[in-house]
Amino acid sequence: MRILRSANTPFFLLHLLGSQIRAEMAAGYEVYAAAGPGDGYEELSALLGGRLVEVPIARDMAPFADLVSLWRLYRLMRRLRPDIAHSTTPKAGLLFAIAGFLARVPIRMHTFTGQPWVEMRGARRLITRACDRLIMVLNTANYCDSPSQQAYLESEGIGRVGVVGAGSLSGVDTAKFSPPGAEQRRAARAALNIPSEARVIAFVGRITADKGMVELMDAFDRLKAEVGSLHLVLIGPFDDRAPLPEAELRRIHAAPGVHALGYVPQPEKVLAAADVLALASYREGFGNVVIEAAAMGIPTVGTRINGLIDAVADGESGLLVPVKDAAALAHALGRVLVDDTLRLALGRAARARAARLFDADRVSALVLEEYRRLARGRLPI
């Protein structure tokens, strides 16, 4: 069986779907991928044995560039004749759905990982929402990465979607993301000049407003007075497409105890320094960084939104607070940081839950079974 995967960037395919691609290849499938240029392109090409095709896919609306990309995807599908075309990320999903329908790919799949239009208004929201609806109509099977997203999409009338297992895009490598030993923790802190006795909050993701960065900085300022030696480690790039206001950027760069590291190829080595993960997002599909931290025994304080209510078991593996509420975020972070018994109990439960529900091997096996189920009756034996 020949499978063609796609996402906007090679980085997404390599780091979020790499374990799934490896599992598909190990099962004997011939796996190709289409993505634009960018970080991780050469590594992804090596993983696929050279079966990576460069097709630039613009993240924003770009009618002429999108038509060119659509034509290239259509030509690629006509040449490869894949049995399954499986996309992730919004723009790749739209172009893949149209190209796959026109090229008559037997099984056309998309996995939704959050809806950008949730925070949009006006015509932009209507257009982006309509694109998701078109993806639903043109594909033969559609999925999302959490039960709460499934309920939301269906309640909004976008269409019927499935969820693989308990959710998540590809699960978590529980061997790679494992609880750090004392020496790993000391080394991670020493690399950042963080004292061993300090309390450390970590954030992983794009540095932008819809990830709750303003509220996180407000909470950090509130906590410094009551926690004492406190540090905030930001792992991820500043988002040029949705930049923070200049005043917020200056605050991040000037604040004592804030470490803005940018892109980190091995985030687990930095997360080893953390006591708690903070994710104050306004919207998420699932929040894979939560289960990565959980697998390391690090609890999360996050917002009570679709996706995160599945990634975090409130009161068991972490704490959830209302969205856009810096005071509630500070209070919950303070509880976890000052109460060692609570923090360690949440961390142990988080690790156990991640291993039980979201282990990457388990999720990959479920995806492969879904491929086989869809193939029955659609593909020749």
pLDDT in tens, 27-85: 999 999 999 888 889 999 999 999 999 999 887 778 889 999 999 999 999 999 999 99
Tokens in use for 141? 């099977």
Residue 228's H or E segment, with its range, is: none
What single-letter DSSP state applies at residue 212? T
What value does the mean pLDDT take over residues 326-339?
A: 97
- The yes-or-no verdict on residue 116 having pLDDT over 90 is no
Supply the DSSP string of 332-367, one letter for each residue. HHHHHHH-HHHHHHHHHHHHHHHHHH-BHHHHHHHH
Structure confidence at residue 69 (pLDDT): 96
What's the pLDDT tens digit per position in 162-177? Answer: 999 999 999 999 999 9
Structure confidence at residue 252 (pLDDT): 96
- The yes-or-no verdict on residue 146 having pLDDT over 50 is yes
Structure confidence at residue 381 (pLDDT): 46
CA distances from 2 to 29, 51, 139 (A): 6, 11, 17
Q: Nearest Cα to 108, choosing from 135, 129, 126?
A: 135
- The yes-or-no verdict on residue 266 having pLDDT over 70 is yes
Residue recorded with tokens 């796609």: 6
Residue recorded with tokens 């044995």: 49
pLDDT band at 380 (very low <50, low <70, confident <90, very high): low
Give the separation between CA 105 and CA 374, rounded to whole angstroms: 13
CB of 43 within 8 A of CB of 11?
no
What's the pLDDT tens digit per position in 340-374? Answer: 999 999 999 999 999 999 999 999 999 999 999 99
Coil, strand, or helix at residue 199?
Answer: strand
Tokens in use for 13? 């395919």
Give the separation between CA 346 and CA 336, rounded to whole angstroms: 9
Residue 180's H or E segment, with its range, is: none
**Which residues, in sequence order, are CB contacts of 114 under 8 Å at separation 6+?**
149, 283, 284, 285, 286, 307
Q: Nearest Cα to 141, choosing from 174, 93, 103, 173?
A: 93
What value does the mean pLDDT take over residues 232-253?
A: 90
What's the pLDDT tens digit per position in 182-218? Answer: 999 999 999 999 999 999 999 999 899 999 999 999 9
pLDDT band at 303 (very low <50, low <70, confident <90, very high): very high
What value does the mean pLDDT take over residues 321-337?
A: 97
Neighbours of 193 (CB within 10 A): 8
What value does the mean pLDDT take over residues 98-120?
A: 92
Strands 162-163 vs 199-204: parallel, antiparallel or unpaired:
unpaired
Enumerate domains of the chain plus CATH numbers.
2-171+360-375 (3.40.50.2000), 182-357 (3.40.50.2000)
The sheet carrying 318-321 orders its strands as 258-262, 230-235, 199-204, 276-279, 300-303, 318-321
Q: Nearest Cα to 147, choosing from 311, 34, 342?
A: 311
